[in-house]
Structure formats: C-alpha cells, structure tokens
A and B are shown apart, each in its own frame.
Chain A
Amino acid sequence: MPGPGRHMGGHSKAPIQKAKDTKGTLKRLLRYFKEHRLTITVIIVFAILSTIFSIVGPKILGKATTELFSGMIEKFKGTGSVNFEYIGKILIIIGGLYLVSALFSYIQQYMMAGVSQSIVYKMRKQVNHKLSKLPLKYYDRNSKGDILSRTTNDIENVSAIIGQAITQVITSVATIIGILVMMLSINLMLTGITVLIIPISVFFISIIAKKSQKYFTKQWEVTGDLNGHVEEMYTGHQIVKAFGNEDKSIEKFNKLNDELYKTSWKAQFISGIIKPIMDFGSNLNYVIICLVGAVKVTSGNMTIGDIQAFVQYSRQFNQPIGQLSNIINNIQSAIASAERVFEFLEEEEEIKENEEAVEVKELKGNVKIDNIDFSYSSEKELIKNMNLDIKPGQKVAIVGPTGAGKTTIVNLLMRFYDVDKGAILVDNINIKSMKRGYLRRLFGMVLQDTWLFNGTIKENISYGKENATDEEIKEAAKAAYADHFIKTLPQGYNTVLDEDATNISQGQKQLLTIARVFLANSPIIILDEATSSVDTRTEKLIQEAMDRLMKGRTSFIIAHRLSTIKNADVILVMNKGTIIETGTHDELIKKGGFYANLYNSQFSESIDDIA
C-alpha cells in the first residue's frame, strides 16, 4: 500500500528546480557532514546492516516452508515427519534477525535525527550571522522577499531532505542490491526475468512521470496565478467595488480556475495510474516466475521454499526503485535550495573593522563633512565635493521632494555606506577610524519606518540601553509622551506587541521609537519626521517629543514640517539625489531658488482656486 508514485494532492508540489552547479553545491553541502563523520559512518553501517538483515529474512523463511513441505511429504510417505525443532530454530533466527534489523534501523534513524538537525542548526546560525556582516547596500539592492525566502524557506527545504534523503538513499540502494543478490543466489534465470520485467514497468512509469511533471509544473504556475489574483482582488476589494469591476474580476478568476481544474485533474490522474501499472508489472512477473519456477521444481532444480522466497523478493523489488526516483527529485530541489543559501553566504561582506579603533572622549557633537564624494553606483554621481561644518547643538534640516535621496546623508553619517572620497569627522575624528558599533551608538535615530519587534513595550524601549532599570524606562517613556498611552493599555509596560504591532497605532509606535532614543541618550540625533497616518493630536505629541529630544543635541532631521525647517540652523535642500542648496531659511528664501519655490508653492496655489 504505501508505495512509490503516490502523490497525494500534489498541489503544493513545486516543479523541480535544478541547481546551476549541482556538483559544487553538493560538495559544499557534504562539507557540513564532515564533523559528523564518525556518526555518519555508523549510520551508514547500521542502515546497510539493517537492510541486509531484513532482506535475508524471506530466504530463511523459505527454508522453513521447504522443511514444512518436504516434512509433510515425508510424513505421507511414512519416512519421517515435519521437523518442528528445525522450523522453530529457523523462525527464532529470523525473529532475531528482524529484531536486530529493526533495532539497527531505529538507532540509525535516531542518530540521523541528531545529525541532520544539528546541520540545519548550524546552517541557520551561519545565515543569521551573515545578516550582520552584510553591508547595507546588499539590503537596499535585494528584495526583502528574496532574502527572506533564502533564509527561511530554502533552509527548511534543505532541512526536510537532509534528514530523510541520506538514510533513504542508503536503504534503497542497499535493498536493491541486496534483493538482487538474494534473487541471484536463488536462481539466475528467474532473476533475469524479474530484472527485465520490472524495469519495463519502471520505464513506462518514467514516461508517465515526465508527462505528469509537465502538468504539475503547469498546475503549480496556475495555482500561483490564481492565488495571486485572489489575494489581489481581496486586498483591493474596496477598489474593485469602487470602480464596479466585480464582473471583470470574476471573469478572470473563472478563467484561471478552469485552467487550474484542467491541469490539476490531469496531474492528479496521471500520478494516480503509476501504481496500478507498477502492480500489473509485478503481477505479470509473479505469474511468469510461477510458470518457470514450476518447471524447475518438477525437474528437481528448485525447492518450493525457494520459489516462495523468490516471489517475495521480486514483489519487494519495485518499491525501493520507486522510492529512489522520488528521493532523487527531492534531492535535486534541496540542492537548488542549498545553492541559494550558499549564494547568500557567499555575498560580499562589509570591510573588517579597524582593530585599533579610536573612541571619542566627552563628545561635543561637532560634525564635519569634509569634501566628500559619494555615489551608490559608479554610473551616477550623487554627492560631489560636499562640505559642511556643524557645530555642537546645531539643527540640520534635510528637505526636498519625494525621492530626492534625503536618506543618503543619514546613510553616510551612520556608516551604512562609506564615502568614496573625503571624510566625515565627528569631533575631528574620522568616522572610518571608529568601530561601526561605537559610531552608531553616538547617534540616536528615529526613522519613519517604526521598527518594533515582537516583545513587550518595556523590551522595545530598553532596546536603546541594555540593563535599563524600570525607572529609566519609565522616564524615557514620559519624555517621549508615551507613558500616558502605555499606562492605558491593560498590560501596561508588559504589553506584548504582536508581529506587525497592530495592537497600537502608528503614532504610538513613533512615540515608542522616540522613547527608545531618549533612553539611549545619544549625543547626536537623526530624525525622520512622519508625513502621514498619524492623527493630529498624536502628531503634536510626537513633534513636542522630538523637539525635546533635539534640545542641546546636534541633530539631523529629514523634515516635512515648516516649523521645523524654519528653525533649523542649516537647511540642506536635496533634489534628484544631490544637495542643490544649503543655508538658513531666510538665506534660501532670499536666494529665490528651488527651496523658495518649494516653500511658496504650498500657499500660492491653494485649493480654493480649484473649482
């Protein structure tokens, strides 16, 4: 019953992906097994032994049948009787063999569970450590979905197969060889027949399998399309309705659904006929063996027990063959996944830290940008010969239209990216000579993208300072005007934020990130003002919290609010990735350039004139 070629459902079955460099990837994958060499050897030996023991079973059992049969004939002849002592002995031996075989198989699988899981564990750990070694460039250039799929799905795929594949390959191969040997030891001719017939059915099946693979691939694609359509239509439900396009969406759905039906029933059907064909081959084989065997028995060349044993072997023969072909498919897909994981592990890492890193004593907060050049890619130069001297406690506003590259400056200050030429100096020390971690601790950063992790509010605030006391956390929350709303939550500071922190509002998230920076108490502040999705009252709180945060600290603000911009000591006006104007509000207005235009635009053409 459980046999090869059964694809229950098969819906989730992705088409087999092939690795670009199968050999290399396999080699690298095998390297993980190196440290488990000894265990693996034991596992292999045990797997082989277990297979051998279970394979000899039928042959020995055949002896019991033979004895029984000849004993019965003797008995009729009156020349003897069934030798139960002998049969009993045989059965005890077989029982022992089966027991040992099962024990070995258990021990082997028990050990394998440990090995495979610790390999996966190690791989996960490596991938995780790699995350912190990659430059930010990598994250900016690759989609989060792709990285995530390499670091989660692909590893899971590898892990699922490492565990079962090895033992299955060993046992399948050992079984095939073992059965062949056993059959040969019984009778050459019958073995020849079996070896001829079984591959014929396997051949038929591989043709069918290839055909069904086509349908499975198609099914997989259409399922993807259909699910995509469903997802899109459900998330855009309101838009679909707003524009009255329900019928169009149903029409497209029906088309995909029908296509899915047509491919999936074929895939399902074709995979369903593999087993019956295999069984037929096996039955055909049985009859032929009986016929040929009968001749041999009559002529005294074979015993009845041998026939019985042979029949049993031949019926077991196609199971490991089917299993093997299944595993090979799985291994292929695991190797493709492993390759993707290895590609990730191979990505270029950030330049190593300077070991003799400098630290600033009693930071004043002077930031100097000294004649720097920078570009994300060599084709497009972004910053050229930029100079700026910011005195301690000054406020720098970065403004510009959407997509003007306002975050570039932040990226450089935090050393998420390194400048191409020139230097950024903090208190006259080149930031390149500091440890990245140290430098970044000098800056407190509040991004618009409010990153909070799945944990309590307390844990999230104290992210800025390890071992912060409850008092300190509360102080920081108070300073960020977050204490009030936190207290209204049923669990207070111990409220667990769910994954997307949907249990608190966007504005409240902002307040928490500000509290985090308050607690960290960094001398230099980088702020990204929120533009949307925050209600006006919370926005007011955020603004006040930010103002309080900036007090007495050198600060850089990606600004959207006019009041902030106007109070800035320096305004950097950016457009299309470059800094086009620098100065104070008054200077820039007087200049009548891009900034003046930007500033005036919001009052010159008002909505009153639209209608």
Chain B
Amino acid sequence: MKKLLKYLKPFKIMIFLIILMVAIQSIGELYMPNLMSDIINNGISKVEYSIDTKALKNAILTDQITELNKTLESKGITKEAFVANSDEILNRIKQDILSAQDSQDLNNLDNNQYMLFQNMLSSGIVEAKNVSDMEYIKDVGIKMLIVAFIITIVTILASYLSSRIAMRYGKVLRQKIFEKVSTFSQGDINKFGTPSLITRTTNDVTQVQNATVMVLRMMIMVPIMCIGSIFMAISKDKTLSWILAIVVPILFLILGIVMKKATPLFKSLQVKLDKLNQIMREQLSGVKVIRAFDKDEYEKARFERSNKDHIDTAIKVNRIVAVLMPAMTIILNFTTIAVVWFGAKRIDLGAMQIGDMMAFIQYAMHVLFSFVMATVMFVLLPRAFASGDRIQEVLAVDPAIKDKDNAKENDIHNGIVEFKNVNFKYPDSEGEFALENISFKTHPGKVTAIIGSTGSSKTTILNLISRYYDVTSGEVLVDGMNVKDYKLEDLRDKIGYVPQKAFLFSGTIKDNILYGKENATEEEIMHSLDVAQASEFVNNLEEGIMSHVAQGGNNFSGGQKQRLSIARAIVRKPEIYVFDDSFSALDFKTDSNLRAALKKETDNASFIIVAQRVSTIMDADQIIVLNDGKIEGIGKHKELLENCDVYKEIVYSQLSREEAGA
C-alpha cells in the first residue's frame, strides 16, 4: 500500500490545501457552539440589573444590610464619610455592581460579595430583569452566519479537491495497472489468473479510490474535531469532563461487542449467500440434466436447506445489529441527561453558566461522533489496504518477456520456423520439463501437424513460436533469427494465430476481422470470410458483416466463432499460420471445405496445425507426434503408422484400419 502513495505526489499542494480547508472547517464547527452559547448566555438570557439609588442610600444609613456597611468600612468609608459624600460613593458602588454584572462575572465574586449582592437583590435595592440584548444577538448572529458561510465554502472546496484527487488517483492507478498488464506474458497472467486481474483493475481500484475520498474528508477531520471538542469541552467545564471519560469507553465497549459478534456472522452470511446463488446457478445450467434424472424434488430440497441456512444466519445478524442504533441513541441521550444534571449542580454553585452547559453538550456529541466515525474507518480502511496491496502486486511485476533494447529487424519473409534442441519448463513449475529436446523445422508452403494426448504440450510449442513464453534452453528461430531478437510486434506480425478457444471481441463482425488487419478493404474482409467458410452464415444475418458481436462472441455458436476467428487470421495474409486445435467445433464437411479453400490461398505460408482429430491432419507434410513433452516421431502419416506406436494408438482409436489407409 505504501508504494502506491507515490502516485499521490503530484497532488501534494492540493492535499495540503485540503488539510487547510478541513482545519478551517473544524475550527469553524468547534467555534459554532461557542457562538450559540453566547447568543443564549449574553443575548437571550441576559439579565439586566438596575439599582434603586434611594433605597441603597437608605439601606446604608439604616444599617439594613450589615455586609454592605462592613464592606464599606473595610474600604475605609465610614458612615460619616458616606453622608458627607454620598453621591460620589453611591456612583462608585453602583459601578462596582454593574461592572461585575456586565462581565457576567458573578462567579468571580467572593463569598462576602456574593452574599452582599444577594441581600441587595432580596431587599429590592438591585432589581434583576431578563432583557434580551437584540443588538448583541444580531452581532453574534451575523458572526455565526459568517462562520457558517465560511464553513460551507471550505467544505465545498474540500469536497471539490478531494473528489478530484481521489478520482484522479483512481484513474492513474487503473491506467498503470492496465498498461502493466498489457506488457504481461502469458506466464505473468497465469500467476494472477485473469479474473483476479480484472478485479484488481476494477474493484480494487474503486476500493482504494473510495477510501481516498474518505481519508481526505474524514481522516483529517476526525482527529481535529475529536481533540478540539475535548479541548473545548474541558475549557467550558473541566469538572464535567469526567462524564466523557466514562461514556467513551462504554461506547467503545458496545461497538466492540456488537462488531465482534456480527463480523464473523457477516462473513458466514456472505458464504451462505454465495452457496445459495451457486445452487440457483447450477439448477439453471443443469435444467436438462435435472429433468432427465427427474430430480426436481431433490433439487428443491437442496435449495431449501441452503435457503433456510442462509435465512437463519441473516435473521441472527440483523438481530444483533438491531442493538446498535438504539444503544447509540441511549448513550448519546444519557450523556445529555448526565450533563444537564451535573451541569445544573455546577450552575447552582455558580461554577458554570447555562449557555456553557449547552455548548458542553454539543462538544460532547462531537466527541462521541468522532469515535463512532473512527470505528467505521477502522473497519473500512483495512479492506482498502488489502486492495492496495493487491494492486501493488500487479504493478511490481517485471514482465518476463519484453523487447530487447537492441532488437533487430529481419528482411527474410519465408515463414520458416525452426526449433533447435528446445527445452521448456513453465516459470513456476518445479523440475518437470513441459517440452524436452524439441527440434524440427517448417517449410514455406508445407503443413506441419502436431498431435498427441492432452498434457503432451502441443499448445506449448505454439506458445513458444509467438513468444508467449521464453524457452528454458535451446532456441526458436523464425526466418533464421532467434525470436528473442525480434521486436515482439514484428514477430507476431508474421503469424496468423487461431486459438483453441475462439475468442471474439464485442463490436461488429467487421470490427473483429479488422482486428487482424486494421486497414483491410471490404473485399479482403469478404474474401477472408469466404475462405473461412463463414460467408454463408454471415450473409444470412440481417446486418451481414455489420452484425453485432456480443462480448466473448456469445451470440454465435462455437463453430461460427471458430470460423470468424479463422477469418481474422486469414485477413492478415501471414507468413506463418498457427492453428491450435481450431477446427474442433466444425463438422467434418466444413472442416474439409475450409482446408480446401485455405490451400488455394497460400503458396508460401507455412502451416502449423495442432489437432485432436486424425482426419484433419493425416495428410500433412510432416506430423509431429508428441508424448509427455517429447517427440515420439516425425514423419508422414504412412511412415508413422509403421514406426510410431503412440501414433498408431491414436489413429486406431478414431479410425478403422481401412479409413486410416493402413
């Protein structure tokens, strides 16, 4: 995963900007509850105190409130001095009281002062009135809106940047993988397996991409918010913070227990669902066999068992997960209740204000949410990491086969293929050679056939000619030059390859033929279809060569696909035709017609044909009989019938003696 991060380098500045944006957003969001509490504290619930000067004077003169007189005395003001200078002193007292009230610092009054203030309130000297400060609310409200607006703008910007970065990152990764796979040899492909490579290019990249969005938007935000909220909550009231210290572990505990119980069940649920779908799939593809054996009831029962099994687990999982939401709400709500109760006590003691309590509640919620988000991330991220590792594995491959730096060109175009003492072992296999000591040579205008049982490595020989694999020792020469010295493109240009499993691309029939030769004329296309015995069925299609080919060519029969893939090779007019058991899906008649048509086509190309059917190859110029990767015999049909036991065995398993011409 780490190595993939290097592809994020070009986005350094943008990522820095996102961090900045998210930081601003977080600070803004942390500031909001503060502003909200200000509105309530200083705006709505503002208490205005007014002082009745006459009553105050009266109180002092009559010694009505002992604390008041004591305070005055402690400041060196005797009753006599007061009488002498009452106006000035009254003003000073008034200011003292009002300034204390302005800053809402009643909390800071010492015990005496507090008692004094209370006495004055109760004796009606000071009157308290709840007067909302509209100006203040407006001011703070505007401030709030500005902050909210800034939050909105930076959030949108962060969203913009993170979307661009994450998607761009995904794009880069996909491109890197795809280009990498394009350079893969067959061996490299097999190491992963095609389905796995497809998943790595598509799903795994999407996983990483989505995780990137999440990281950019939340991973940065969560810690800032979490720490900030804790900090702010403590600043509002240190003492109440113990509530968080209790709630957070409980939250973790519940999340942990539920996940610990649910995760394995989720996994097994997936397995059971796969099983269920698999049975459904099997029953669909086997519908004929199931009916032939009259096994409907049996199959129903098989499905029923799986269905029941699946549903039992599904119910169990859902019931466990059902705990989650109510439990979380309970925790959040009880936190609020606890804050209100203990906060009220604090407020009563004069240690806290109502607005601060509300702010505290909001910060507490932020803290709890942060922890929930963090948990979600820790569930999702490992999956993305696993995907990242899978991607990295692909990117790390050094393709086994690539052009040499000093690749040469070859002016000879005879299509002669020569194997010289070739030994071959598959890249990952231990010990066993797939091909041993193979030597033969093809000639222009002649047919070389290869026959042998499965596992005798017939296809492997073909793979070495096109250099899908490199020989382990010995050499493969094409037109006198080692295939390793060719540019891969030049080498494969010489070859018209028809694979064992006909593979067509989605598009039109024409597209598929053009795949063999990009600039082929209409005439060339029609001709190649003719030769491949495909023109009849193609012409019968409503749209002819413009007919649609579904992915994998699945809207055509095996024989039709095979003929089209033969036409694709013919249109290239290659020097070397390579047929890998390519006539297998054709009936005898089409097979022989095709071969007859091919013969008229080419005088100089050499043919290499792998086949199972003896009748297809019995008239070849040279037949190579393979057994366990070794050549058992080379020669013409008649010769081999006389001196090659393996060949004899194969022939007589398919043909009667008279047919074999023995």
Contact = CB atoms under 8 A, between A and B. Distances in A.
A185 interface: no
Given A237-B184, A294-B132, A269 B584 contact: no
Contacts of B585: 402, 531-532
A243 B516 contact: yes
B11 interface: no
Interface string A225-260: 011101111111111111111101110011001101
A451 B318 CA distance: 36
B47 interface: yes
A96 B289 CA distance: 63
A358 B133 CA distance: 98
Interface residues of A, number: 174
Contacts of B184: 237
Contacts of B181: 234, 237
Given A78-B121, A232-B551, A128 B453 contact: no
B122 interface: yes
Nearest to A254: B175
Q: Dominant SS at the A interface?
A: helix
B272 to A, nearest CB: 12
Interface in B465-515: 466, 468, 488-489, 492-493, 495, 497, 499, 503, 505-506, 515
Nearest to B596: A605
B334 A95 contact: yes
A188 interface: no
Given A106-B322, A401-B589, A264 B167 contact: yes
Given A261-B167, A401-B587, A113 B294 contact: no
Interface in A590-606: 597-599, 601-606
B404 interface: no
A533 B584 contact: yes
Interface stretch (B54-62, B83-91, B158-166, B429-437): B158-166
B213 A128 contact: no
B145 A287 contact: yes
B119 A78 contact: yes
A426 to B, nearest CB: 15
A533 B40 CA distance: 83
A11 B209 contact: yes
Q: Dominant SS at the B interface?
A: helix
Contacts of B499: 238-239, 242
Contacts of B148: 279-280, 283-284
Given A261-B167, A261-B171, A294-B132, A139 B287 contact: yes
Contacts of B304: 125, 128
Contacts of A233: 178, 182
Contacts of A377: none
A98, A139, A294, A607 interface centre (most CB from chain B within 10 Å): A607
Interface in A125-141: 125, 128-129, 131-132, 136, 139
Contacts of A254: 175
Contacts of B201: 230, 234
Given A76-B128, A241-B466, A297 B44 contact: yes
A145 B452 CA distance: 37
Given A120-B311, A532-B612, A440 B152 contact: no
A414 B326 contact: no
B323 interface: yes
Given A103-B326, A106-B322, A244 B589 contact: no
A33 interface: no
B453 A535 contact: yes
Contact of A454 (B282, B446, B620): B282
A243 to B, nearest CB: 6
Contacts of B612: 532-536, 539
Interface in A269-322: 269, 272-273, 275-277, 279-280, 283-284, 286-288, 290-291, 293-295, 297-298, 304, 307-308, 311
B567 to A, nearest CB: 13
A572 interface: no
A609 interface: yes
Interface string B597-609: 0110011000101
B318 A117 contact: yes
Contacts of B300: 128-129, 132
Nearest to A307: B44
Interface stretch (B248-256, B258-266, B341-349, B519-527): B341-349
Interface stretch (A61-69, A382-390, A468-476): A61-69
A239 B503 contact: yes
A231 B307 contact: no
A485 interface: no
A356 B599 CA distance: 63
A235, A284, A443 interface centre (most CB from chain B within 10 Å): A235
A84 B558 CA distance: 86
A608 B596 CA distance: 9
B178 A602 contact: no
B586 A402 contact: yes
B557 A403 contact: yes
A552 interface: no
B590 interface: yes
A77 B129 CA distance: 10
A213 B558 CA distance: 41
A298 B588 CA distance: 101
Contacts of B307: 121, 124-125, 128
Contacts of B119: 78
Contact of A78 (B43, B122, B210, B447): B122
A88 interface: yes
Contacts of B592: 601-602, 604-606
B650 A605 contact: no
Given A128-B303, A232-B505, A563-B656, A102 B134 contact: no
B308 interface: yes
B124 to A, nearest CB: 9
A601 B593 contact: yes
Contacts of A65: 340, 354, 358
Contacts of B155: 273, 275-276, 279
A9 B206 contact: yes
A301 to B, nearest CB: 11
Contact of A280 (B149, B323, B466): B149
Contacts of B330: 98-99, 102
A209 interface: no
Contacts of A106: 322-323, 326
A226 B202 contact: yes
B268 interface: no
A223 B167 CA distance: 13
B128 A543 contact: no
A300 B303 CA distance: 70
B8 interface: no
A54 B325 CA distance: 13
B174 interface: yes
Interface string A77-117: 11101101001100100110011011101100110111011
Given A226-B202, A505-B454, A235 B285 contact: no
B130 interface: yes
Contacts of A144: 284-285
B167 A110 contact: no
B574 to A, nearest CB: 10
A538 B454 contact: yes
Interface string B335-365: 0110011001101100000100010000000
25 contacts: A1-B372, A61-B337, A65-B354, A72-B347, A75-B348, A114-B319, A233-B178, A237-B194, A243-B568, A244-B489, A250-B178, A250-B179, A265-B163, A273-B155, A288-B141, A291-B138, A294-B43, A297-B130, A401-B590, A447-B289, A499-B278, A602-B588, A605-B595, A606-B619, A608-B620
Q: Which 4 A-B pairs have the closest CB atoms?
A: A610-B599, A78-B122, A535-B454, A272-B159
Given A241-B492, A291-B137, A298-B131, 10 more contacts: A68-B347, A78-B122, A84-B344, A269-B164, A402-B559, A444-B292, A563-B656, A606-B618, A607-B599, A611-B445
